Structures are given as structure tokens and as C-alpha cells.
Structure 1
């Protein structure tokens, strides 16, 4: 099967010949049985396919994604469905979003929770109609409630039986999902290493329930925009989709007008939900976000956060 290798920034040193490179990789294998899968970069690859991978990498990100999608991005030694191999972590009680605390049960009865359930159903219908998977949650500026929206939407999606949702913390400069969901990011591999192909899917993605998995970011990454544009990142995410087969992957992204991180990642998204703060977002902010999105990715809707109670219509 076809496997991508990332060149140039390897921690290990490969010999110059193709045969030596393959032999060197065999010493770096993670056991393929039990609760482990192989890191993408260290997967055993025939010499001819290494050369083919080099050619695809040189062709650019679109070629990488197309090739991985065409063969499901899974090696013969990697199980096709990795969902059951993900390490489980029970969310702490200092959160009100995921099941496991009294606060969550109380929150379910609020208008806010019901609003997210309505958004969930509309989003599921839209992505199913178009065959979409990757959805970005963005805001014009910081402090609009982006992470709160992404976490609540993921929790609402996860309550649909027999569904699969993956929530990724791609707000790498100021990661906040671990704190929001009261999860321990130190129990997983590093996001940067996972995207580079050095950490296996099952050693990075955490499963909080039968229907929700999360990818956390433990430490800020100041070169987030470069990471998002790295072909290795695209290859790792494509392989993750192939291995976990999620219905929806939600990306909690940085503010669109503050950094170029989100703009760099737009080509990888199928749709975007824009979070607006009723107390700080201005019309010119929304207009600029729409201009940036224009022609690149569909704007699925604008979510108004912190709206005045008097402006909410009752039914």
C-alpha cells in the first residue's frame, strides 16, 4: 500500500539507498498488534512505493490528499477501523459539556443546549447531503467563544447513537479544549509529532465515549501556520479520517483576522461555521471574514454568541 514519508525534518537518519532506508525503518516500528498502531512515518514500505511517495510529495498537497483518499491511507499492517483501539479518558467533573457530571445534566435543560442540538441536526443534514466531513469552527477575533462553541457542538453531535465525531484543537497558539473539557492532554502524544507522522493515531487521539474522540494540544505552537501548511499534516489527517471513519471532524481554529493560521488551513475544510460575539463583533469583522472565505470554502452559517436575552425569540 502507498505510504507517505516526510523528508527533511526526520529525527532519525536514513541511509542514502532505498533498500537501506527501508531496513532502517524496521528498527523503529511500533507493535502493530494489541492497542498500538504504527506511526505513519515509520510504516514498513516497499522500495518502489517509497519512490512513488517522493513523487507525490513533490507534486504538492492536493496530490497527497487525493492519493491517500484513493487507497484509504491504511497499510496492510494497520487495522482499517482504529476507533476501538483509541485510549479512553473519562472527562473530569469540572466541566458541564460532556456526560459524567451533574452540571452536564443541568446544562442539557437550558436554552443554550437546545440551540446546539438544533445546530447539530442542521449540520448533520448538510454534511450528509454534500458528503462533507471537515468542518471548521472559526471567529473573527479572539474571545468570541470559539472553543465553547466547538466543544458544545461536538458534545451534541456525540449524543446521536452510532455516530462518530472527532474534535481537534487546532487553535495551536492558545489551545483551550483540554481545559474546557477537563481532560489531561499530557496522557496523549504531542499534536505536533502526530501531524508530522511520528506518533500513531491510537497514541494521540483520545476517546471520551463510544461516539466522541478528541485531539488535544498541550503546548502552544508559535509556528502554527507553517504546521497547517505542511504536506505531512495533510497526510496525517487523511490517514486519521481513513482509520477512524468519522461522520464529522470539527476543527477548533484560531481567530481568522488575528493570524494567518486559519487562512492557511481553509483548503482542507469542507465548510465553516463563523462564531460572532454579540458584545464585540462588528459588521466589518464579519464582512472581512466572508471576503477571506469567498471562493475557498462554503460559509455554513453565523453563530451569535452572548446575544442579549431580549433579542432571543421564544417559541
Structure 2
């Protein structure tokens, strides 16, 4: 079994992260490792610390055709500006910048940017083996951390079309359905929102039972190429549904440069990670495993 690029990281879940800031559940390191599941069936987050490095050579991402947009496509500065509300249903570590969780997201952000810029990768999926692991929480806070880099451009897309949640997370009204945006029925300039000079959102107000079919439609590929050509983002994060519960991520692999996998220290099993690795093998690089809800006994303590 090949090495995983492991990011045993981050802590706290969507319900009690505020109470856990600075306490149990926060852990982060990024380094190449032999799959941690070779010797134990339960992925419980009890790892030793190591150097914060990626391997020099990552698997090659699939080649993506280039789209040279037209003058009608919106530019970054043309996107309508919206302000997140105060009643979001997801804890945001930006509210507690000195917390261990915020520092973990910042470290993950920096290592991710270094890798994507080096390889000229843009399209990164954030997913999990099963539901309830916290991938929407991780995608949201990683996007916010990325957006604090001056002069950068990050796009966060709600591609969990079976259970969209980013609009609620930001306490914002979605302009419409993601399916309309991807199919070209909705204009890019009206379907995307900019919340700052460095962060734009693609929100969704409608659940779709045919999500996998939409994601592998050629119209979706063309729309996303137009989006990247016109907005020129450094990174596009796609919040995706669980890998092992639906075929959405598999259907979307041709559009991706890499995948971040969110593991839950209280429920993710070794066999789940092995199956996810098998599904990605030879197709898209697995950039990291992010460990959410790490056990308190596994967390390093610094004086």
C-alpha cells in the first residue's frame, strides 16, 4: 500500500468546537506516512509527532483542458458582495484566532498553498469517508483561513448537493440552485457571491437526488472551466458528500487536482480509509488526511 500524505489535524466538531478551543480535539501535522491503518482497525488519532513536510514527489493530477472565457464572464471584482450573518449554524474558528483550532487550520492552509502553488493545482475536494466527520466544517474554516492571505483568491463551492449546508454555515441566502449554476441555466455573475476581497462562495439552496449525474455532466465541466478562467482563483475548495455513501466524488474526480480527506477520531475505521485510498488510487492525489475530534490523550502539549 502506497504512502498517504497525512494531515492528522484539527479538532472539535460542529456542535462543541467553541467549548473545545484550546482543549481536546485539536491536533495538526502534515507529513508523509505509511497508511496508519495497517496495524489497527480503529483510526483513533493516537499518533506520534513528526516533521511538517510533504514528500517531494506527489502523484500527477489529471490534465485539465483550458478554457479561454469571453468578455461576458464576470471578473472577480464584478461579483456581487454579500455579508455573512451572525447566526450561522457552524462554529467558525475565525472568531477565536488564538485558539489551537485556528492555528491548526492556519498550518494546514500554509502547507496546502505551498503544495498547490508548486504543482499549479487549483481544484481541491474536501470530503470524508462517511457522514458526520466534519468535512463541511473543515472546508469552511480552511477557506476562511486561506482568505486571510493578502492578495489571494479562494473560492468555496457547496458541491454537497444532496445536503447543502454552506448557506446556513454563513447565515446567508443562496442566490439559487447549484444545479442551475453548473448547467449554465444561471449566470455566473449572479450565482456566485463575494464576501471579501479574497473569498467568493458558490452556495446552494436546493437538494438534488441526481447529484452524481449533474457532477459528471459535460456542462458542469465547462461551467467550472469558465469560472476559473474568469475569476482566476488560487484555490477552489469543493465541499463534497461522503465518499463511501454516494458516487458523487467518484463522478467528480476528472475535475479535481487533489483530495483532502476528513477523518473522525470517534467513528472513522481503518477499513474506511483503505477503501477511500483504493478509490483514489491512480486517479487523483490524496493530499492529506485531516483528523477531526482527536482524543485528548493524543494531543501534544507545549509549555
TM over 0.5, shorter chain? yes
Q: Equivalent residue for 2:211?
A: 224
Query: What is the rounded CA distance, in whole Å, between the counterparts of 1:119 and 1:153 in structure 2?
Result: 8
Summarize the alignment of residues 234-273 of structure 1 with structure 2, pairs less than 5 Å apart.
234-273=221-260
Q: 1:97 to 1:82 in 2, by over 3 A?
A: farther
* Cα deviation, residue 189, structure 1: 3.4
Structure of higher RCO (CA pairs closer than 8 Å, 6+ residues apart): 2
Q: Equivalent residue for 1:155?
A: 144
1:88 aligns with 2:88: no
Query: What is the rounded CA distance, in whole Å, between the counterparts of 2:260 and 2:198 in structure 1?
Result: 21
For the residue of structure 2 that corresponds to 1:239, the secondary structure is helix
Structure 2-normalised TM-score? 0.76
Query: What is the rounded CA distance, in whole Å, between the counterparts of 2:106 and 2:297 in structure 1?
Result: 21
Q: Equivalent residue for 1:3?
A: none
Q: Which runs of 4+ in 1 moved over 6 A?
A: none
* Cα deviation, residue 232, structure 1: 0.2
Q: Equivalent residue for 2:128?
A: 139
Q: Which is higher, the Rg of structure 1 or of structure 2?
A: 1
Q: Indicate if the aligned counterparts of 1:195 and 1:232 stay in contact, CA closer than 8 A.
A: yes
Provide structure 2 residue ranges, at least 5 long, that are not aligned to the other structure: 1-61
Q: Equivalent residue for 2:263?
A: 276
Q: Indicate if the aligned counterparts of 2:94 and 2:144 stay in contact, CA closer than 8 A.
A: no
The root-mean-square deviation of aligned C-alpha atoms, in Å, is 1.7
Q: Indicate if the aligned counterparts of 1:173 and 1:221 stay in contact, CA closer than 8 A.
A: yes
1:297 aligns with 2:284: yes
For the residue of structure 2 that corresponds to 1:249, the secondary structure is strand
Summarize the alignment of residues 1-315 of structure 1 with structure 2, pairs less than 5 Å apart.
66=65, 69=66, 71-72=67-68, 74-75=69-70, 77-78=71-72, 82-95=75-88, 104-105=94-95, 107-185=96-174, 188-315=175-302
* Cα deviation, residue 202, structure 1: 1.0
Query: What is the rounded CA distance, in whole Å, between the counterparts of 1:86 and 1:269 in structure 2?
Result: 24
For the residue of structure 1 that corresponds to 2:236, the secondary structure is strand
Query: What is the rounded CA distance, in whole Å, between the counterparts of 1:198 and 1:174 in structure 2?
Result: 21
For the residue of structure 2 that corresponds to 1:166, the secondary structure is strand
* Cα deviation, residue 97, structure 1: 6.0
For the residue of structure 1 that corresponds to 2:233, the secondary structure is coil
Structure 1-normalised TM-score? 0.73
Query: What is the rounded CA distance, in whole Å, between the counterparts of 2:111 and 2:149 in structure 1?
Result: 13
* Cα deviation, residue 108, structure 1: 1.3
